[in-house]
Amino acid sequence: MRPHIIFRYTGFILLFNAVFLLISALVSAFYSDSALLPLLYSAIIAVLFGAFPLIYVPSAKDISNKEGFIIVVSSWLLSCLVGVIPYVLWGGEFNLTNAWFESVSGFTTTGSSVLTNVEALPFGLLFWRSATHWIGGIGIIIFALSVLPSMGRAGMILYRTEMSPLAMENFHYRTKKTLQMLVIVYVGLTLAETMGLLICGMNGFDAVTHAFATIATGGFSPKNMSIAHYQSLSMEIVVMVFMMLSGIHFGLMFAAFRGRASELWRSSVVRYYLIALATGVGVVALNIHHHPYTSWAESLRYAVFQVISLGTSTGFATTDSAIWPPFAQLVMIFFTLQCACSGSTSGGIKVDRIVIFWKGLVRRITMTRHPHAVITPKIDGAAIDSDMLEASFLYITLYIGIVFISSVILTALGVDILSAFSGSAATMGNVGPGFGTVGSMSNFSHIPDAGKWVLTLTMLLGRLEIFGLILFVTGRSWK
């Protein structure tokens, strides 16, 4: 392994973050708020540390798979560290632990917050907070590669390291074209939602920051009450539409934009995703009718928004779902664990793995009945090989195991079991709010500092799909 090559490529990522820090500083200057100097100092630090390896380290296009993994994980960790700087320099509620929590939550598009008063933050810092969602949503590496010159095999390795193996199943383009396609969809959705929210009456700053958080399926809002602050059905509809779209594989979204919308419904994964959301909305609306909502219109309105919000790992809120009946909360926890499609900005286990799990389960039951049968499970005509079945089963097992371990640690620190389990599931799935004391209208400020560090680890494990961080930690044992 060549450390100087790793330093060079992570330097690109630091410069990429510096660009958004400078934009945030410009926002701060426009509003004449107190975040200008913290953001400028942070940008200068990012530029210095990012430019140094680019000046003194020669370029290389022949990086190894191991170096690719180290570059990707290091880029995520360094970005989170850079995100801490403006928070700590500004002060307020941000000690080191809280700043690290908020930064990791932003870049991993989790959306969990330790802030008791979000609206106390200056505009520049609010913009940076939402920007961490946007640059982390589609992947820091993918964004950087899309604007860099062709890097040959190096670019291919970084792209494959960043993207989930499941996500790449529907991409049949060259790496550079795929990257450009992802960015076109991502930026296009962001612009479209911004325009939609402006038309509905939201001011420009809020429209941009909410669009950043929606398309990244992040959930940071510049308002304490999240989307509930506006009490606007039209705004809720716009946000719901774009949350659903952001949970679909971007390759399929690109095909739909180019006139092949039928490909969306032909995908069994997308069909399951939409049917699961519709079913969840139905059972939750039935359960919360009369308790706590008296009308069917209210029940349906809040059920639709909250199920889509958690089912896409966005985490926005229009009501306090912590007061819902236990059955509705359990349904919501299922969506917190599952979330949306691979190849989207969503977190969680991913509906693709759930579909593979059920097909594998059906295959096992059938083979138990008919031991000599030859059964090959398929998704949309493509065979699911034994390696993919095993990898999906192992991932789901590890995922649930990590949520359980995190929950145990939190309860040992004095957190109640509902808050511990739902909070662990929400951070592991990059969803944001849980239930109990970490519900949709609450925050994570009361969690002990040790618990906050545990939850940031689950955020990173979820964003890097477990194995990326494990491979990084065990790098010395690679051959």
Cβ burial of 192 (10 Å; 0-12, 13-18, 19+) is middle
Q: How does pLDDT run across 259-313, given as a tens digit for each residue?
A: 787 878 888 899 999 999 999 999 999 999 988 999 999 999 999 999 999 999 9
CA 20 and chain centroid, separation: 19
What's the CA gap between 270 and 450, in Å, rounded? 39
In 202-318, which ranges are E strands?
A: none
Q: How does pLDDT run across 182-219, given as a tens digit for each residue?
A: 888 899 999 999 999 999 999 999 999 999 999 999 99
Q: Cβ atoms within 10 A of the Cβ of 283, count?
A: 14
What's the CA gap between 113 and 297, in Å, rounded? 30
Give residue limits of the domains in the chain: 1-162
Cβ pair 140, 79 in contact under 8 A: yes
Statement: residue 173 has pLDDT above 50: no
Comparison of pLDDT for 316 and 150, the residue scoring more: 316
What type of residue is 123? F
The pTM of the full predicted model, rounded to 2 decimals, is 0.92
